[in-house]
Chains A and B, each alone.
Chain A
Amino acid sequence: MNRWIPYIAKRLFYMALTLFIIITATFFLMNFLPGTPFNNQDRLSASQLEMLNKKYGFDQPLFSRYLNYLGNILHGDFGISLQFSDQKITTLLGQRMGPSIQLGLQAVLFGTVVGVFLGMIAAMHQNRGLDVFCSLFAITGRSVPNFVVAVLLQYLFAITLKWLPIGLWDEGFRSTILPTLALSISPMAESCRFIRTEMVEVLSSDYIELARAKGMSEIRIAFSHGLRNALIPLITVLGPMTVSLMTGSLVVENIFAVPGIGEQFTKSILSNDYYTIMAVTILFSALLVTVIFLTDILYQLIDPRVRVEGQA
C-alpha cells in the first residue's frame, strides 16, 4: 500500500496546481466580458451603476480583487451571486448540485452498463442480426439529441401512459427515471460503440483462442476475459463524460423542471455573474481533475501492466 502514497501525493499536488492555474486564468479572462453583471443594466442610471460598482467592489483594481478572491475561497467563501441578489453562491450551487450529480451518475451508470452489455452482444454476433441491431441503436442514440428523446419520453410515459411524473423533482426516485433515461442515451451509445470495437479485437486475440481451447463457453469467455480487456479504452472516455453529465444538461433539466445546476453554467456567463462563473468553473474543473485522477487509479486496478512500480 505504501507505494501508493507518494504517487497519490504527487497527483494531488498537480491537481491543486491545475486548479490554481484555471482559477487565475478564468478570473483575468472574465474581465474581458462585455457588459455589466447587473441584470437591470438597460435601465440603470450612470450614478446608480457607480453606486453598485462601489458596493460590490468592482471599482477596485483587478489584481487586488484577485487576491481578495483567492483569500476568500481558501476560507470556503465563494462570494455572492449578482444574478440572485446576494444569495451565497455556496448555498445556491450547493442546493442545485445535488440533482444534477444524481442524474449524471445515474445516467452514466445505467447507460454504461446497458451500453457495455449491448456492445458485447454486438461483438459476439459480429456482422450478424444482433450486431446490426445494436449498432443501429447506438448510431441512432448518438444522432438524436437528448432533448428530443426527453420530450418523446415525456410524451409517451408521462402524458399518454401516465406512468411517470411529467417533471418537477418531487416524487423521489420516480422523478429521476425519465431524465435519467434521456441523459443515458449518450453514454449508452458511446459505451456500446467502444465495447463493440474493442471486444471484436479482443475476441480475435490468442488468449481468447486459448480460453476456447480450454473448453469455455463463448459467453463466459466474453465476461471473464473479454470484458476486462475491452473495458480499458472505455474508461478513458467515461471520466469526462461523467463530468459533463454531472454538471447538468441544461435542456433536459428544463424539460423536466429539475432544480439542477445546468442552467447556471450557461446563464452565469450570459449575465456576467462573475462570482458564479468562477464558482462553476472551479466546480467543473475540480470534478474533471478528480475524475481523471480516479480514472487513472481505475486503470491500475484493472490493467496490471500499468501498475505503479516500486515493489520489491
Chain B
Amino acid sequence: MIEAILRVNHLSVSFDTYAGTVRAVRDISFDLGPGETLALVGESGCGKSVTCRSVMGLLARNARVEAGEILFQGEDLLKKSNREMRAIRGGKIAMIFQDPMTSLDPTMKIGRQIAEAVTLHRKVSRGEAKRRVLELLQLVGIEEGEKRYHQYPHEFSGGQRQRIVIAIALAADPRILIADEPTTALDVTMQAQILDLMKDIQRKTGTSVIFITHDLGVVANVADRVAVMYAGRIVEIGTADEVFYDPRHPYTWGLLASMPTLATEDEKLYAIPGTPPTLIDPQPGDLFAPRNPYALEADKIAEPPLFPVSGTHFAATWLLDPRAPKIDPPEAIRRRARERGSL
C-alpha cells in the first residue's frame, strides 16, 4: 500500500451565521495518494470547497473545525499555527480558482505575480526567480515568455490567464494541487486545453491533484478516483471506473443519469428533482432521502454509513445493507456499463 500523501480523517466543519450554525462538512474521510487525481464531485453547497479550504487553512472567520484531522506528510495541518500554514500554502499545497478573469491582480505585471509565488517559498535571487518564472510560463504553454513577463492580466485571454494561475500554483513545486472548478468559467475548447495541460504537468511533476467539479464529463477525463459528495458527506467513493460504471448510490445514479451521452436520444434531460437541504439543524436520517426515489424506511431514521463494495469502492446507502431489497440501477446506468463492456 503506497503511503497516502494526504489523509483526511473524520473532518467536520461548521459555520456560525446569523441564521444559525451551518454544518457544512459532516464527518468526511478520504486519502490522496502520490501522483493521483482525486475528483470531488457534487452540487453547489455540498461541502467540496469547504473541505479543500480546510486543507489549505483558508477558512472564513466564522468557520469552526468541529472534529477531525488532516494529515499531510504525517503532520496534522489543523494543529498548525497560521505562520506554519503560510509556509505550506502555496509551497507544498497549492490551489487554483475558478474565475481566471478575477484571479489575478489587475494592477501588477503577471511576471511579478508569479515571481512572488516563487520567492515566498524559496530563497532565490531576483534573477533566479525570473528564470523560474520563464520556465513556468513555458511549462504552462505561454509563448514569448520574455515579453509576456512584463504584461498585465488584461492583456491575456481567459484561457491564458488560467494558465498563469496554474503557473503561480506550480511555482514552488507543490506536492498537492487543489483545483477548485478551474474550467467552469471557460468555454469548451479552452476547457479541453487546460485539462490537457494539467494532465501533462501532472505527468511531468508527479503532483497529486484534488479536482473539484460538478461536471462529470470533466471527471471522466482526468480523475483516477472519484468522491461524490452530498450535503456535507461523501456518499460514494471509488476509482473512476467503479463510480462511472458500477455506481451504487442513488445520488450517483441521478448525477450520471442527468449527464447526456452520445446515445441519449432527444428526450427531456433528466434532473434530480428537489434541491439540496440547508445544513442548519439537519434533520435526522439520510439527508438525500427526500429526493431519493429509492429511499427506504431506514433512510428516515439514520444516516447510512459507508458500505464497502470492493477494496477501493464504498457507498453510503442502506441499499448496500444485506437486509435491503435488491434494486437494479436505472436503465441509463446499465446501458453505459454495457457500452463500456462492448468496447
Contacts and interface: CB of A to CB of B under 8 A. Distances in A.
Asked if A pairs with B, the answer is: yes
Interface of A: 205-207, 209-217, 224-225, 228-229, 302-305
A278 B142 CA distance: 60
B282 interface: no
A305 B117 CA distance: 23
Interface in B129-185: 152, 154, 165, 168-169, 171
Interface string B81-105: 0000011111100110101001111
B189 interface: no
Contacts, number: 74
B337 interface: no
Contact of A217 (B86, B88, B99): B86
Contacts of A212: 58, 89
A214 B87 CA distance: 9
A124 to B, nearest CB: 12
Contacts of B89: 212-215
B105 A211 contact: yes
A213 B58 contact: yes
Contacts of A214: 89-90, 94, 116-117, 120, 168, 171
Given A207-B104, A215-B121, A229-B105, A304 B154 contact: yes
Contacts of A305: 106-107, 152, 154
A206 B105 CA distance: 9
Contacts of A224: 108, 116
Residues of A contacting B: mostly: helix
B115 to A, nearest CB: 11
Contact of B86 (A207, A209, A216): A216
B320 interface: no
A204 B114 CA distance: 21
Interface of B: 56, 58, 86-91, 94-95, 97, 99, 102-108, 116-117, 120-121, 152, 154, 165, 168-169, 171
Contact of A210 (B91, B104, B120): B104
Output the residue of A212, A214, A229, A303 with the most chain B CB within 10 A: A214
Contact of B91 (A205, A206, A215, A225): A215
A228 B107 contact: yes
B97 A206 contact: yes
B152 A304 contact: yes
Nearest to B58: A212
A149 B165 CA distance: 50
A194 B280 CA distance: 36
A213 B116 CA distance: 12
Output the residue of B58, B105, B106 with the most chain A CB within 10 A: B105
Given A210-B104, A212-B58, A224-B108, 6 more contacts: A207-B102, A210-B168, A213-B169, A214-B117, A215-B89, A216-B120
A214 B117 CA distance: 6
Given A215-B120, A228-B108, A304-B152, A207 B90 contact: no
B106 A303 contact: yes
Contacts of A217: 86
A225 B86 contact: no
A228 B104 CA distance: 13
Nearest to A227: B107
A188 to B, nearest CB: 24
Contacts of A228: 105, 107-108
Contacts of B106: 207, 229, 303-305
